[in-house]
Amino acid sequence: MPDTTQNLIELSTPKQNHQHFKIFKPYGFLSQFVPETRKKKKLLSELFPFPDKIMAIGRLDHDSEGLLLLTTDGMKSFQVRDKSIEKEYYAQVDGEITQDAISQLQNGVNISVNGTNYLTLPCKAFVLENEPKLPARGRDIRGSSHGPTSWISITICEGKNRQIRKMTAAVGFATLRLVRIRIGNIHIDNMIAGEVVTLANFDDALNRS
């Protein structure tokens, strides 16, 4: 016999209308809304009048830029962190990267995670033939007099702390600039640094079909 009492409760309880956003996190901002103790760092709340209970899905570190998803629905964080969801980054690295280094990245490299050795999962990686069209960074990259640089694309399905930077360092090429351009089927498109865009239908945008 169906539980009519429970059904009536569910019908009488309004569903919360959650809000979702994508932003281009600028260089020098923390991926959070609450300031750290004794540290005066720029926060996401300075970019837009976000609703209460907003949270970042994952993080980009202080020096990294690009696509960051925000939501008032904590369940969305589990969706995005799932290994079926790709995260693509453009990284500017110090020096002319070699095909051997690219192959190592593709196959997985050893990095340190919380003081423990970790082998990254196989990923997609390739050299970008041309410098990508991105907004100017808040702080200049070192000058060309210090030698050449390369731009590469790396797509991973995991998200360890500072993983991309550790991966490129592991193959001998330090990351000078890091920009996340895609999460699932959500792209940075032509957004400018600090821009905020509302995602009307999060699941359709993420394309989990």
The mean pLDDT value for 140-167 works out to 88
Amino acid identity for residue 45 in this structure: S
> pLDDT digits over 179-189, tens only?
999 999 999 99
Report field, pTM of the whole predicted structure over 0.85: yes
30 vs 13, which has greater pLDDT?
30
CA count, 13 A, side-chain hemisphere, 147:
10
CA count, 13 A, side-chain hemisphere, 114:
1
- Mean pLDDT rounded to a whole number for the chain: 88
Among candidate residues 74, 56, 35, the one with its CA nearest the CA of residue 159: 56
Task: Give the per-residue pLDDT at 10.
Answer: 46
Catalogue all structural domains in the chain, each as residue range(s) with its CATH number: 20-81+186-207 (3.30.70.580), 87-183 (3.30.70.1560)
Is pLDDT at 17 greater than 50 in this prediction? yes
Active-site residue list: 61
Cβ atoms of 23 and 58 closer than 8 Å:
no
11 vs 123, which has greater pLDDT?
123
Task: Give the per-residue pLDDT at 24.
Answer: 97
pLDDT band, very low/low/confident/very high, at 4 (cuts 50, 70, 90):
low
How far is residue 115's CA from residue 55's CA, in Å, rounded to a whole number? 28
Among candidate residues 142, 141, 132, 144, the one with its CA nearest the CA of residue 179: 132
Task: Give the per-residue pLDDT at 38.
Answer: 66
Amino acid identity for residue 50 in this structure: F
pLDDT band, very low/low/confident/very high, at 209 (cuts 50, 70, 90):
very low
